Amino acid sequence: MNDSTDDPAQTAAARLRADIAGGTFVAAPGVYDLISALIADRMGFRALYVTGYGTVASSLGLPDAGLATYSQMLERVARIVERTTTPVIADADTGYGGLLNVRHTVRGYERAGVAAIQIEDQEFPKKCGHTPNRRVIAKREMVRKIEVACDARSSQDFLIVARTDARSAHGLEEAIDRGNAYAAAGADIIFVESPESEAELAEIGRRIEKPTVANLVDGGRTPLLSTAALAELGFSLAIFPVAGFLAAAQALRQVYRGIRADGTVDAGTPLFPFEQFNELIGFPDVWAFERRFPEVE
């Protein structure tokens, strides 16, 4: 859960804004369903990151290629926010369309209790970062999207994270230029996707004029530096979108392989204790209710 020093009267968005403004480095694990969110929520993180890749994969069994709709993403995001207390940063792809769609998306995510919304400058349909053939819209178009997003929010505590995917196709200079343009348009946090070396990370941290986020993807293009190293380079936030679902997928494969082979669970597979899992998802409340209101015989 959140640190006991957090003011319970403060909204999740206000807590996250205060962390970023106050220089507290935020490491946000990727969550993609209610099980991952409930587990991460109890571990004292300053924020959770709802990964579009993991959410689409877990809910639709499809790649993160612009196939999920605004409504589908909002439903999953809203449920995660409802069941957790940690501030949530949520992926919103391109804003799901044009300027009117961006306004609608920002308002929907804010109403759902999201602390920060991430919007990117890819063409629609978007593609997952760290994958090939991503194309970006004109810088001026994304600047306008950021202006609309800032105008649409009802509270300044609700953070706008502007992501640029320009690095892969147009180079680091273009990505940094876009990042600073998005910062000037009002974005609170700048996300340069898939820098390819520690030197590039250093350039981003040094030259972007707003707080920056590093995307640490196991198997991706960006070097996996420690949070201490990223803070030293000037970053404010690191997200770890894939680690959770890759670990879960590997554990599932190992367990299912043993069941398929001889009907037993591999003794080397760590399992979450069943009693603790019952507690995690709320069975004690059900049992307490049943004791208070037993069925009429």
Q: Report the pLDDT averaged over residues 259-279.
A: 90
Answer yes or no: is 152 within a domain.
Answer: yes
What is the distance between the alpha carbons of residues 297 and 283, in angstroms, rounded to a whole number? 23
Q: Report the pLDDT averaged over residues 233-246.
A: 97
Digit-coded pLDDT (tens) for 176-219: 999 999 999 999 999 999 999 999 999 999 999 899 999 999 98
Name the residue range of residue 83's domain: 12-248
pLDDT at 8: 41
Q: For the chain, how many structural domains are there in total?
A: 1
What is the distance between the alpha carbons of residues 82 and 85, in angstroms, rounded to a whole number? 8
Poorest-pLDDT segment among 90-104, 126-140, 240-254, 258-272: 126-140
pLDDT at 229: 97
pLDDT at 127: 65
91 forms beta bridges with: 118
pLDDT > 80? residue 6: no
CATH, residue 128: 3.20.20.60
pTM of the model: 0.92
pLDDT > 90? residue 269: no
Greatest Cα pair distance in the chain: 74
Digit-coded pLDDT (tens) for 90-116: 999 999 999 999 999 999 999 999 999
**Residue whose C-alpha is closest to residue 175's, from 220, 121, 223:** 121
pLDDT class for 3, splitting at 50, 70, 90? very low
Percent of the chain with pLDDT over 90: 83
pLDDT at 264: 86
pLDDT at 241: 96
Q: Are 68 and 283 in contact (CB under 8 A)?
A: no
pLDDT class for 43, splitting at 50, 70, 90? very high
pLDDT > 50? residue 51: yes
pLDDT at 114: 97
pLDDT class for 10, splitting at 50, 70, 90? low
Q: How far is CA 257 from CA 203, 227, 263, in A?
A: 45, 35, 9
**Residue whose C-alpha is closest to residue 143's, from 116, 164, 170:** 164
pLDDT class for 128, splitting at 50, 70, 90? low
pLDDT class for 5, splitting at 50, 70, 90? very low
What is the distance between the alpha carbons of residues 55 and 149, in angstroms, rounded to a whole number? 23
pLDDT > 60? residue 129: no
Answer yes or no: is 277 within a domain.
Answer: no
Q: Report the pLDDT averaged over residues 119-130.
A: 78
pLDDT > 50? residue 228: yes
Instruction: Say how many C-beta atoms besides its own lie within 10 A of residue 147's C-beta.
Output: 16
Average pLDDT, whole number, for the chain? 93
Answer yes or no: is 49 within a domain.
Answer: yes
Q: Are 192 and 164 in contact (CB under 8 A)?
A: yes
- Got the DSSP string for the chain? ---TTS-TTS-HHHHHHHHHHHT--EEEEEE-SHHHHHHHHTTT-S-EEE-HHHHHHHHHS--SSS-S-HHHHHHHHHHHHHH--S-EEEE-TT-SSSHHHHHHHHHHHHHTT-SEEEEE-BPSSP--TTSS---B--HHHHHHHHHHHHHH-S-TTSEEEEEE-HHHHH-HHHHHHHHHHHHHTT-SEEEE----SHHHHHHHHHH-SS-EEEE--TTSSS----HHHHHHTT--EEEETTHHHHHHHHHHHHHHHHHHHHSS--TTS----HHHHHHHTTHHHHHHHHHHSPPP-
